[in-house]
């Protein structure tokens, strides 16, 4: 159970909270979109200056809601300019991270008829859904922090609001701090706002929700979030190995998890993206590659191999990065022996602690607010190969 958090004032970007307040006062819901649309154009607009907004609505907003409940504490740009990391402070002083990854694939798909239109300049935003995480993945900085609290819908959407002031955003991935499906209702509401044509207009195929495997919610996603992509953080091909590095596997066994994913795919008719962090001497050998191939063979999936790359480990390393060539060898086995589509993630933001949880931990330690144990591990979600590239790279017949 996540620790309780109550915002006062609440975020005007919190769809459930605003709608509930409007209904209680008898204010028509259609006025909500005027507010959000105006705020995107003029963040400092006075409530009373929003055209055609009822006085009762303006008074309610003044009493109970804030234009933005979070602030950007730090904005860091990577040396190559391909990653921007936002350290965001919430109303209660806790911190989360959002990462903007900039891509230029203008020349990558030249001459490929099936990928026409994919190459361009674009930005992907990686958002957080919780402060910390209860899943405890041993290689992940956020997982070692424990769960501090869930973000409300508004706090998730505010990450996008902050990011749009850096650059236009085309893709959203829920791969930052936290387990999105453990904060399901807030994530569902936030996805709805992100995709709303009158607001941000990010198409559902450009939104990806990642999970370590919350089985009941995976089954709900097909109905609740149609068109939104599912990414499964797998990291091991067997239940025995997965339990050692992904503790939540005890509650969500691999066999049942794969059944849930199959049920989701049958209902949604969508490909699933599999994330696999490669840890030297743990899950990167030929044996594990064959086991993974056998597990996933025949399924409509794209495997994204993520070479583990330590960024901030004052007491580590607890894991080691894979040896040169081992990830490519792992990929060859999956491709040649099992016919699986498999990519290797492009790393971004290493020089600015691009992996989720790293900047929060570093900032907290400098302020004396985070244990050294929490700083000991790293995740590689900061170097995302974005959803558009994964789709464009897949064979046309598989799409």
Beta bridge partners of 333: none
Task: Provide the pLDDT for residue 373.
Answer: 26
* pLDDT value at residue 358: 47
Q: Which residue has the tokens 């990929």?
A: 331
Instruction: Please report which residue ranges of 197-238 form alpha helices under DSSP H.
Output: 215-224
Separation CA 342–CA 339 (nearest Å): 9
Q: 269: how many CB neighbours lie within 10 A of its CB? A: 9
Sheet of 341-344: strands edge to edge? 71-77, 83-89, 95-104, 121-126, 171-174, 207-211, 229-233, 272-278, 301-307, 341-344
Instruction: Specify burial of residue 299 (Cβ count, 10 A radius: 0-12, 13-18, 19+).
Output: middle
As given in the structure block, the two tokens for residue 179 are 């387990």
- pLDDT computed for residue 109 by the predictor: 56
The pLDDT assigned to 397 comes to 39
Cα separation, 5 vs 156, in Å, equals 14
Q: The tokens of 176 are what?
A: 């930052």
Tell me the whole-structure pTM to 2 decimals: 0.87
Write out the two tokens for 61.
């907003």
Tell me what pLDDT residue 312 has.
Answer: 52
Mean pLDDT for each consecutive 10-residue tract of the chain (399 residues)? 90 97 95 94 94 96 97 91 93 96 73 58 94 89 83 98 94 96 98 95 95 96 96 98 95 97 96 96 97 97 90 62 94 98 74 47 41 29 53 49
How far apart are the C-alpha atoms of 99 and 163, rounded to whole Å?
8
Pairing of strands 341-344, 301-307: parallel
What DSSP string runs through 263-285? HHHHHH---EEEEEEE-TTTT-S
Three-state DSSP state, 124: strand
- Structure confidence at residue 347 (pLDDT): 62
Residues with Cβ within 8 Å of residue 96, at least 6 apart in sequence:
88, 90, 128, 131, 151, 155, 159, 176, 177, 360
Q: Which of 129, 224, 143 is nearest to 181 (CA)?
A: 129
Q: Rounded CA gap, 309 and 320, in Å?
A: 8
Domain spans, the chain: 10-66, 71-393
Q: What's the CATH number for 71-393?
A: 3.20.20.70
- Rounded to 5 degrees, what are φ and ψ at 341? -85, 125
Question: How long, in residues, is the chain?
Answer: 399
Mind giving me the DSSP string for 69-108? S-EEEEEEE-TTSSEEEEEEE-TTS-EEEEEEEEEE-TTT
- Residues labelled catalytic: 97, 356
Q: What span, in angstroms and rounded, lies between the C-alpha atoms of 98 and 375?
A: 18
Q: What would the two tokens of residue 23 be? A: 């209904």
Q: What is the pLDDT of residue 191?
A: 98
């Amino acid at each position: 159970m996540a620790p309780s958090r109550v915002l006062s004032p609440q975020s005007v970007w919190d769809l459930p909270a605003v709608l509930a307040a409007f209904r209680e006062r008898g204010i028509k819901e259609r006025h909500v979109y005027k507010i959000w649309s105006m705020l995107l154009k003029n963040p400092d607009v006075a409530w009373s200056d929003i055209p055609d907004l009822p006085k009762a609505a303006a008074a309610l907003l003044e009493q109970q809601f804030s234009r933005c409940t979070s602030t950007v504490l730090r904005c860091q740009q990577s040396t190559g300019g391909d990653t921007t990391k936002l350290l965001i402070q919430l109303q209660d002083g806790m911190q989360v991270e959002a990462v903007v990854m900039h891509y230029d694939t203008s020349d990558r798909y030249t001459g490929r008829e099936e990928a026409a239109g994919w190459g361009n300049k674009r930005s992907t935003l990686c958002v957080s859904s919780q402060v910390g995480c209860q899943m405890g993945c041993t290689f992940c900085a956020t997982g070692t922090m424990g769960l501090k609290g869930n973000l409300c819908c508004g706090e998730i959407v505010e990450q996008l609001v902050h990011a749009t002031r850096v650059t236009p955003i085309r893709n959203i991935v829920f791969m930052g701090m936290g387990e999105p499906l453990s904060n399901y209702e807030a994530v569902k509401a936030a996805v709805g706002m992100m995709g709303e044509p009158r607001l941000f207009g990010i198409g559902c195929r450009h939104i990806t929700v990642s999970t370590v495997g919350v089985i009941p919610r995976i089954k709900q996603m097909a109905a609740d979030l149609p068109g939104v992509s599912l990414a499964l953080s797998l990291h091991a091909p067997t239940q025995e190995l997965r339990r050692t590095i992904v503790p939540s596997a005890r509650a969500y066994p691999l066999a049942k998890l794969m059944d849930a994913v199959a049920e989701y795919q049958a209902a949604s008719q969508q490909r699933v993206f599999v994330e696999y962090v490669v840890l030297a001497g743990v899950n990167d050998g030929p044996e594990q590659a064959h086991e993974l191939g056998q597990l996933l063979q025949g399924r409509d999936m794209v495997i994204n191999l993520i070479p583990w790359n330590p960024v901030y480990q004052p007491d580590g390393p607890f894991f080691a990065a894979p040896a040169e060539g081992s990830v490519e060898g792992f990929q060859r086995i999956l491709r040649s022996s099992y016919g699986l589509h498999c990519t290797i993630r492009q790393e971004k933001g290493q020089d600015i602690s691009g992996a989720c949880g790293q900047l929060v931990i570093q900032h907290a330690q400098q302020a004396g607010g985070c244990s050294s144990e929490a700083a000991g591990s790293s995740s590689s979600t900061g170097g995302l190969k974005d959803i558009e590239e994964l789709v464009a790279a897949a064979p046309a017949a598989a799409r």
